């Protein structure tokens, strides 16, 4: 019974999303046992970000909300990233401590 509420996701879709989240979780656990060395963190964070994106886009309805909320999320993300990047300008270039 789809009602007149503009945008609903069907329960089936929700379950599909849930399954994909579980798969990604297993993937990232598996990946942690393979030695990617330098990439390990990158892989873990990439998968985590994919999961976070799915949660935000479907579960949190960003897909259907007014665009302005999406823009706000983006701005917040960018601001946080600049914090990290600029801080790394310090720590990435510290002369080795003697």
The residue ranges that bind other proteins (CB under 8 A) are 1, 3, 5, 8-11, 14-15, 17-18, 21-22, 25, 28-29, 31-32, 40-41, 44-45, 47-48, 51-52, 55-56, 58-61, 65-69, 72-73, 75-76, 79-80, 82-84, 86-95, 97-98
6 in Cβ contact with 40 (< 8 Å): no
- At its nearest, how many Å lie between other proteins and the CB of residue 54? 10
Rounded to whole angstroms, how far apart are CA atoms 78 and 84?
A: 10
């Amino acid at each position: 019974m789809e009602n007149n509420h503009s945008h609903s996701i069907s329960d089936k879709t929700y379950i599909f999303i849930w399954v994909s989240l579980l798969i990604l979780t297993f993937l990232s656990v598996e990946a942690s046992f393979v030695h990617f060395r330098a990439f390990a963190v990158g892989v873990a964070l990439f998968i985590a970000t994919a999961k976070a994106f799915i949660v935000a886009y479907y579960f949190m309805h960003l897909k259907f909300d007014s665009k302005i909320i999406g823009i706000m999320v983006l701005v917040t993300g960018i601001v946080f990233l600049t914090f990290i990047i600029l801080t790394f300008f310090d720590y990435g270039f510290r002369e080795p401590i003697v």
